[in-house]
């Protein structure tokens, strides 16, 4: 599970960042800050994988924080979530290696895309060597329709179910457990999980050893 730090001086936006992040079972928010200097000192002493960072903050801006993180070689990635949309700021931050850049106001679906981009980056560089196929997944845009949801299914919900199945234990998860993780109805969870099974992205089996009614278990295909 990836460890996330949120640095945002607006409490409402900070709460939204946290809510969106923790909807994805691959991530856990371990700390939040309203001040960039406090975040820098904490990150210098504590490991984290990802910082969700605002640009405009008093005393110590997001640009200054990211620059300090890079100067100190603190190994953490960054997603910028900000109202700053001037070309010079965007160009500066992209050159500093941010994973993604979200301009407020943003949707949950766009936030989820940023998290997916981060995960693709991490997965591509996990081993000692990187293959061309792994690099293509990281840098090349997906082919049209490769992961698109069919009519009647929401792409953001499909990604959420896919993430839960990837994080499922080897024996799989019942739809009731997936429902609790996603705050979706059991009927909705089954619909999306069955679609992923049909696509060949997931497996399902019926568990008869429940002591009661049999239940169907789902897990992602590796």
pLDDT, residue 144, reads 42
Q: Which CATH number fits domain 2-124: 1.10.287.10, 3.40.50.2300, 3.40.50.1000, 3.40.640.10?
A: 3.40.50.2300
Written as one string, the DSSP assignment of the chain is -EEEEEE-S-HHHHHHHHHHHHTSTTEEEEEEES-HHHHHHHHHHS--SEEEE-S--SSS-HHHHHHHHHHTT---EEEEEES---HHHHHHHHHTT-SEEEESS--HHHHHHHHHHHHHHHHHTSSSS--HHHHHHHHSPPPTTSSPPPTTS-HHHHHHHHHHHHTS-TT-EEHHHHHHHHT--HHHHHHHHHHHHHHTSEEEEEE-TTSSS-EEEEEE--
List the chain pLDDT tens, one digit each, 222 residues: 899 999 999 999 999 999 999 988 889 999 999 999 999 999 999 999 999 999 888 889 899 999 999 999 999 999 998 887 778 888 888 888 899 999 888 888 889 889 988 988 887 777 667 677 666 666 655 444 445 567 778 888 888 898 889 888 888 999 999 999 888 899 999 999 998 988 888 999 988 887 788 889 999 986
User: Given this model, what pLDDT does residue 79 score?
Assistant: 95
What's the CATH fold of domain 155-220?
A: Arc Repressor Mutant, subunit A (1.10.10)
pTM of the model: 0.65
Q: Kindly list the domain boundaries of the chain, sorted by start residue.
A: 2-124, 155-220
Give the pLDDT confidence score for residue 170 in this predicted structure: 87
């Amino acid at each position: 599970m990836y460890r996330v730090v949120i640095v945002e001086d607006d409490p409402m936006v900070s709460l939204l960042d946290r809510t969106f992040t923790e909807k994805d079972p691959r991530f856990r928010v371990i700390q939040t800050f309203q001040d960039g200097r406090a975040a820098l000192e904490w990150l210098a002493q504590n490991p984290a994988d990802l910082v969700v960072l605002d640009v405009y903050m008093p005393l110590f801006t997001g640009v200054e924080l990211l620059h300090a993180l890079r100067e100190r070689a603190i190994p953490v990635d960054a997603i910028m979530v900000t109202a700053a949309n001037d070309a010079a700021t965007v160009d500066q931050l992209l050159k500093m290696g941010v994973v993604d850049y979200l301009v407020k106001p943003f949707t949950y679906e766009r936030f989820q895309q940023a998290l997916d981009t981060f995960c693709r980056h991490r997965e591509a560089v996990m081993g000692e060597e990187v293959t061309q196929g792994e690099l293509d997944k990281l840098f090349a845009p997906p082919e049209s329709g490769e992961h698109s949801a069919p009519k009647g299914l929401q792409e953001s919900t499909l990604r959420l179910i896919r993430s839960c199945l990837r994080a499922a234990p080897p024996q799989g998860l019942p739809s009731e457990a997936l429902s609790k993780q996603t705050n979706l109805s059991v009927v909705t969870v089954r619909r999306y999980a069955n679609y992923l099974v049909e696509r060949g992205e997931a497996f399902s089996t019926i568990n008869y050893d429940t002591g009661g009614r049999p239940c169907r278990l789902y897990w992602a295909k590796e």
